[in-house]
Structure 1
Amino acid sequence: MAKYMLPELIHTSQTYEDFLRAVQGKGLKIIEAKASISLDIGSGASAVFVAPNGTDYEDLNNYSAVLKLTYKDMLFLSAGDAEAVSENEMLLARYNLKADVLKVGHHGSDSSTTPEFLTAVSPKYAVISVGKDNDYGHPSPDVLAARLRRM
């Protein structure tokens, strides 16, 4: 049976309800994505969730499933939309966050990619998923100029 992993949260938007119906309609089993859950991918790859670490966040972004992927000798960390609260929890949990490639959290917003988190990850490369000229002003000039350029 195919599986779909997502953080456990209660969200009542119509979009989320439609999403859950679509996943269930396709016969996919929903499994909770949370810190310390490991995935055996095979072919020299493995993955472990390093967030979310909590269950009661004010901001939905902190429920983001943050995944560390190892493929042979390459390390990738995908931070989803995790913000500073979630980043701090990962640091406090003392996860090995070191990665060669970081998918920057929350589209490069200044609410994530804290200097402490960047120091722990210490990536060689950073990737930001963002639409050009978006209404949110992402990525943050501070994240680009003051944080990522120092890597």
Structure 2
Amino acid sequence: FLTHGDFDHIGSFGEIAKAFKIETLYLPIGMDADTESLTTLQEAIEMGKNPKMKIIWLKFGDQVALDQKTNLQVLAPNKSGAGENADSLVLYGRIGLHDFLFTGDIDGAAENALPSLPVDILKVAHHGSDHSTPADFIERTDPKIAWISVGKDNRYGHPADRVVADLEANQTKI
């Protein structure tokens, strides 16, 4: 699953495709107009271990059954896009014994538009930027664990102190 066209979300795909025989690549319909990223991905597929890799475009309402016990619901995007943060793939589902919410790089307004669902493990949106993961979203979803994908001492200052404080106030383990 690739969430959208930003380099920090697709940049290592070529190396991964060379190292592993990927059967299926899932992409959000929100990046179907991102010709630059799609060209990069196609080149990586052709150079990878499986040049006949299947590509499945996902949009709001789709379901992805990974196995008999793992079914993911696509909560966003709902329209074509240029692969920007707002076009990110958002997935929700049960994996094993836990309910996961994967939010890509959507912002707080998009998070607040998501349905109220139980969340055990939240992949915090947009690396914990101050524009994501508002306190009311955290309270509503009540995640037990939050994963923040971020480089140490990154130039953007992610995660934002406010996001960390809001997660801690909710007693969410980071």
TM-score bracket for the superposition, by shorter chain length? 0.7 to 0.9
Aligned length: 144
SS across alignment from 2:106: coil
Q: 1:117 to 1:34 in 2, by over 3 A?
A: farther
Q: 1:101 to 1:16 in 2, by over 3 A?
A: same
The aligned amino acid for 2:52 is G
Structure 1: distance between partners of 2:38 and 2:95: 32
User: How far apart are residue 48 of structure 1 and its match?
Assistant: 1.1
Identity %: 35
Find out whether 1:69 has 2:88 as its counterpart: no
Partner of 1:81: 105
User: How far apart are residue 88 of structure 1 and its match?
Assistant: 3.4
- Deviating 4+ runs (over 6 angstroms): none
Structure 1 unpaired stretches of 5+:
none
Cα RMSD (Å) of the superposition? 2.3
1:44-81 superposed Cα distances (whole Å, 9 cap, x missing partner) = 22211111134458x81111111112034311111111
Partner of 1:32: 57
> Do the aligned partners of 2:58 and 2:74 also contact (CA within 8 Å) in 1?
yes
Q: 1:23 to 1:116 in 2, by over 3 A?
A: farther
> Do the aligned partners of 1:109 and 1:143 also contact (CA within 8 Å) in 2?
yes
SS across alignment from 1:111: coil
- For normalisation by structure 1, the TM-score amounts to 0.82
User: How far apart are residue 38 of structure 1 and its match?
Assistant: 0.7
Structure 2: distance between partners of 1:48 and 1:38: 5
Q: 1:72 to 1:34 in 2, by over 3 A?
A: same
Alignment of 1:34-73 (within 5 A): 34-55=59-80, 60-73=84-97
